[in-house]
């Protein structure tokens, strides 16, 4: 990538980190600078790969949460009888969508004034 760090083993031999220690005490052995150089050379020589640009990398990042809906529905809080709430929930997944469809139908048929 554009912000690569060059490593000179002669200058930084004393500062080379050989492993990472995890919180639980396990140690992960890190690649040596020579191994890193061989890995990077292999990547560069592979015709089926390329260096990912910062713009491409930004597109690959997963955005947390649910994707935005095409139509944003306002949150509605209503009080209903316990047996009505139990029957709605017992109808299974998607019960809120079905309640919305019933209310829409009532509005469209003029049984509820919008």
Long-range contacts of 1-8, Cβ-Cβ distance < 8 Å, separation of 24 or more = 1/51, 1/52, 1/53, 1/54, 1/57, 2/53, 2/54, 7/33, 7/36
Note the pLDDT of residue 17: 81
Is residue 73 included in any domain, yes or no? no
49-73 pLDDT, tens digit each: 888 889 988 888 777 888 888 888 8
Is residue 66 included in any domain, yes or no? no
Is residue 83 included in any domain, yes or no? no
Note the pLDDT of residue 26: 92
Per-residue pLDDT at 48 exceeds 70: yes
- The 8-class DSSP code of residue 111 comes to S
Instruction: For 39, list phi and psi in degrees, rounded to 5.
Output: -65, -45
Is residue 79 included in any domain, yes or no? no
Q: How confident is the model at residue 11 (pLDDT cuts 50, 70, 90)?
A: low
Domain that holds residue 39: 9-60
Is residue 15 included in any domain, yes or no? yes
Note the pLDDT of residue 13: 57
- The whole-angstrom separation of Cα 17 and Cα 30 is 8
Average pLDDT over residues 85-101: 92
Is residue 76 included in any domain, yes or no? no
Q: How confident is the model at residue 2 (pLDDT cuts 50, 70, 90)?
A: very low
Is residue 31 included in any domain, yes or no? yes
Predicted TM-score (pTM) of this structure: 0.41
- The whole-angstrom separation of Cα 68 and Cα 76 is 18
Note the pLDDT of residue 31: 92
Per-residue pLDDT at 5 exceeds 80: no
Is residue 71 included in any domain, yes or no? no
Domain count, the chain: 1
């Amino acid at each position: 990538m554009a912000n690569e760090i060059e490593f000179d083993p002669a200058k930084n031999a004393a500062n080379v980190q050989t492993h990472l220690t995890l919180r639980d005490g396990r140690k992960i052995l890190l690649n040596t600078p020579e191994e890193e150089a061989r890995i990077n050379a292999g990547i560069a020589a592979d015709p089926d790969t390329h260096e990912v640009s910062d713009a491409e990398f930004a597109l690959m990042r997963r955005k947390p949460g649910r994707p935005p809906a095409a139509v944003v529905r306002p949150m509605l809080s209503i009080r209903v009888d316990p047996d009505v709430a139990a029957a709605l929930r017992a109808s299974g997944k998607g019960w809120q969508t079905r309640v919305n469809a019933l209310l829409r139908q009532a509005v469209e048929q003029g049984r509820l004034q919008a």
